Amino acid sequence: MMKYLVITGDIIESRKSGITNEILKKKLLEIEYPDNLLAPFRLSRGDEIQAVFRGYISFPAMLRQIRYLLRPLKLRFGIGFGEIEEQSTDRNSWNMNGTAFHYAREALDIITAEDFFQTIFLSNSDYDEAINTILLLIDNFQNSWTEAQWEAVYYYEKLGTYKKAAEKLNIAFQSIGKRCKAAKWREIRYAEDIIDRIIKNMFKGD
């Protein structure tokens, strides 16, 4: 049976940020999606965003993109992997249901209760603990990134080369390399590749 990935994000202290819902909605429109998107990120409940993907998605890269675009806001993410009831033509994730949504909600509840993780993946499989351990380490690395490092990583990942990223930011391409190195980008990408392999394996046969 087809599996789905649901990402639910909780914006921390959104009311104190001074950023209006209108601004948030405009920022969400800047998100770039893979082809297997089912429902794009939408704002609901005032401080939550949610999207649904059919099949595999490299979700660590997606989370990083969102965190960059929504700066200076801080977010917690619950990711659910499971089934959904895809019977309606409605592409608003808040009107959908299924185990993938339940897992994403449970993940956010755990984050709130334990105040330890920033990102949790749940699928009711033996892979969950390994994935969440890697996500914890990635989040700890990213928590120390400077604004310059966030920019360098974002545009290098988006544009594909140090040169193009440097041209976008109007700095020397060597600076992009130094910032990515300081951000431990190579190590983070390796960790994300491991998560990707695990998720791909979970989708085999769907």
Look at residue 203 in the predicted model and tell me its pLDDT: 65
- 35: in domain: yes
Whether 205 has a pLDDT exceeding 60, the answer reads no
Look at residue 51 in the predicted model and tell me its pLDDT: 95
User: pLDDT-based confidence at 86, cuts 50/70/90?
Assistant: low
Considering only CA atoms, which of 147, 108, 132, 137 is closest in space to residue 12?
Answer: 108
How many CB atoms neighbour CB 178 within 10 A?
Answer: 15
Percent of the chain with pLDDT over 70: 92
User: pLDDT-based confidence at 206, cuts 50/70/90?
Assistant: low
Buried-exposed string 80-97: b where 16+ CB fall within 10 A, e elsewhere: bbbebebeeeeeebeebe
- 97: in domain: yes
Helix (H) or strand (E) holding 8: strand 4-11
Q: Give the contacts of 169 (CB within 8 A, at least 6 positions apart).
A: 151, 152, 155, 176
Tell whether pTM > 0.75: yes
Q: Tell me, what DSSP letter sits at residue 71?
A: T
154 phi/psi in degrees, rounded to 5? -60, -50
Considering only CA atoms, which of 36, 44, 38, 34 is closest in space to residue 8?
Answer: 44
Record the tokens describing residue 103, joined without a space.
């897992």
- 136: in domain: no
> What is the number of structural domains in the chain?
1
Q: What's the mean pLDDT in 73-91?
A: 83
For all residues of the chain together, what is the average pLDDT? Answer: 90
- 173: in domain: no
User: pLDDT-based confidence at 118, cuts 50/70/90?
Assistant: very high
User: pLDDT-based confidence at 199, cuts 50/70/90?
Assistant: confident
Domain holding 113, by residue range, is 4-125
Record the tokens describing residue 192, joined without a space.
């994300």
Look at residue 77 in the predicted model and tell me its pLDDT: 98
In angstroms, rounded to a whole number, what is the distance separating the alpha carbons of residues 117 and 133? 9
Block residue for tokens 């990213």: 142
User: pLDDT-based confidence at 87, cuts 50/70/90?
Assistant: low
Lowest mean pLDDT among 15-24, 56-65, 139-148, 170-179: 15-24
Q: Does residue 40 have a cis bond before it (omega within 30 degrees)? A: no
User: pLDDT-based confidence at 91, cuts 50/70/90?
Assistant: low
In angstroms, rounded to a whole number, what is the distance separating the alpha carbons of residues 123 and 203? 12
- 180: in domain: no
CB 21 within 8 A of CB 42: no
38 phi/psi in degrees, rounded to 5? -105, -45
Whether 119 has a pLDDT exceeding 90, the answer reads yes
CATH code for the domain in which residue 76 is found? 3.30.70.270
- 57: in domain: yes
- 77: in domain: yes
Look at residue 50 in the predicted model and tell me its pLDDT: 94
Look at residue 163 in the predicted model and tell me its pLDDT: 95
Look at residue 75 in the predicted model and tell me its pLDDT: 94
Q: pLDDT tens digits, residue range 94-110?
A: 677 789 999 999 999 99
